[in-house]
Amino acid sequence: METPAIDLKTVGLALAAVLLVEWGTNAAVHHVALPPMLILGAARSLEIAAFISIALFFGDHGITALGIHTNRLLMGLKKGILWSIGFGILVGMAFGVLFFSGINPLHLMKTDSPSVPYKILLFFLVGGLVSPIAEEIFFRGILYGFFRRWGMGAAILISTLLFVMAHTTSSRIPVPQAIGGILFAVAYEKEKNLVVPMVIHISGNLAIFIISLVSQ
């Protein structure tokens, strides 16, 4: 089932929604006495609601244009798990090669995680579930869906580049995000089902968080 192309109006409204929510998030972090991760979770939830609403009320094909098909959710879940297992095996093999070459692969994917129990729960809930869903709808469902009109290669390259730029916060190159961005786009292109990259993204984030938490 071919996914309809995303129109410019949908992209523009989605970008406006992201900018508005991000502006509100930055303001809230400095002026609201709530845990930053809780504020981030609320922001990502608002973005998800905004993307879905934009597709439903302003798009020409509803949420199917985002690669979300209500009759294929379970199939997307199953295929996402299979993709995640396959990718996990490849990552494990690559880690083994790096380790025996004298390179610690954990340095490439380690992330700072909290130590307080309720903050750990928020960290896993927001960073491991809510954020991946929001990011997949925006970067693959909307941006990839828009750039796909210029070919698969261009769509993968541009959407991944934007995905990496959004995650670059230091001088360190976000290698996991670069690899992940390509993988998510390829999985979406192959399966035509946004649930598949969502599941891979969620699985990858949770794996990185668990490894980082255990290695602290």
pLDDT in tens, the chain (216 residues): 677 789 999 999 999 999 999 999 999 988 888 889 999 999 999 999 999 999 999 988 899 999 999 999 999 999 999 999 999 999 888 888 877 887 776 666 667 777 788 889 999 999 999 999 999 999 999 999 999 999 999 999 999 999 999 987 765 667 788 999 999 999 999 999 999 999 999 999 999 888 888 776
> What is the distance between the alpha carbons of residues 125 and 181, in angstroms, rounded to a whole number?
21
**How distant, in Å, are the alpha carbons of 24, 169, 176 from that of 111?**
25, 12, 11
* Burial classification of residue 199, based on how many CB atoms lie within 10 Å of its CB (0-12 exposed, 13-18 middle, 19 or more buried): buried
Quickly tell me which residue has 């993988």 as its tokens.
Answer: 183
